[in-house]
């Protein structure tokens, strides 16, 4: 799948993903900065991924985890700083939530700073329902 959006190409072709760009950005993010590199690579391999490209340079990314029937979880969404403000993040979310692949499923995600973006696509805050179990690598690193 490839979608042209202004001067950007959004593709689910994993062979186009520049893992160095993804790893670099996520290592500076608040949500994945403690994630080991090998875990990020394995996550990419085992997820539905969208890359955003200007010419051949990767400028954005999103990853989706799903059981293929009841839920999907959007994660690791980013747009490189110099390409923000162009609607790329909105387009990534729109492609995911409008996809036939995830139609009728419950969508989940976690964010500290982009509630407004996701609420436009039907996501609602639900602080009383979901629990989180920290990854074991976080626990090990803190010891």
Which domains does the chain carry?
2-142 (3.40.630.30)
Q: Which residues contact 88 (CB under 8 A, 6 or more apart)?
A: 5, 8, 52, 59, 60, 79
Q: What is the pLDDT of residue 10?
A: 98
Q: Which residues contact 31 (CB under 8 A, 6 or more apart)?
A: 75, 76, 110, 112
Confidence at 17, pLDDT banded by 50, 70, 90: very high
Please answer whether residues 121 and 62 qualify as being in contact, where contact means their C-beta atoms are separated by less than 8 angstroms: no
Is pTM, for the whole model, over 0.85?
A: yes
H or E element in which residue 108 lies: strand 106-109
Please answer whether residues 107 and 72 qualify as being in contact, where contact means their C-beta atoms are separated by less than 8 angstroms: yes
Q: What is the pLDDT of residue 143?
A: 42
Which tens digit of pLDDT belongs to each residue from 27-67? 999 999 999 999 999 999 999 999 999 999 999 999 999 99
Please answer whether residues 47 and 63 qualify as being in contact, where contact means their C-beta atoms are separated by less than 8 angstroms: yes
Q: Which residues contact 95 (CB under 8 A, 6 or more apart)?
A: 3, 10, 50
For residues 128 and 23, give the distance between their C-alpha atoms in angstroms, rounded to a whole number: 32
Q: Which tokens belong to 14?
A: 């994993």
Mean pLDDT to the nearest integer, 91-117: 93
Mean pLDDT of the chain: 93
């Amino acid at each position: 799948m490839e979608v042209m959006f202004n001067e950007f190409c959004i593709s689910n072709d994993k062979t186009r993903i520049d893992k160095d760009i993804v790893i670099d950005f996520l290592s500076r993010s608040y949500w994945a900065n403690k994630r080991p590199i090998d875990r990020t690579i394995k996550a990419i391999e085992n997820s539905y991924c969208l890359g955003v490209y200007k010419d051949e340079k990767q400028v954005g990314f999103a990853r989706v985890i799903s059981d293929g029937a009841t839920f999907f979880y959007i994660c690791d969404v980013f747009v490189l700083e110099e390409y923000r403000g162009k609607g790329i993040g909105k387009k990534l979310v729109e492609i995911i939530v409008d996809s036939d692949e995830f139609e009728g499923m419950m969508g989940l995600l976690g964010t500290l700073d982009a509630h407004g973006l996701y609420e436009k696509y039907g996501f609602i805050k639900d602080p009383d329902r979901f629990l989180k179990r920290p990854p074991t690598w976080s626990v090990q690193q803190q010891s």
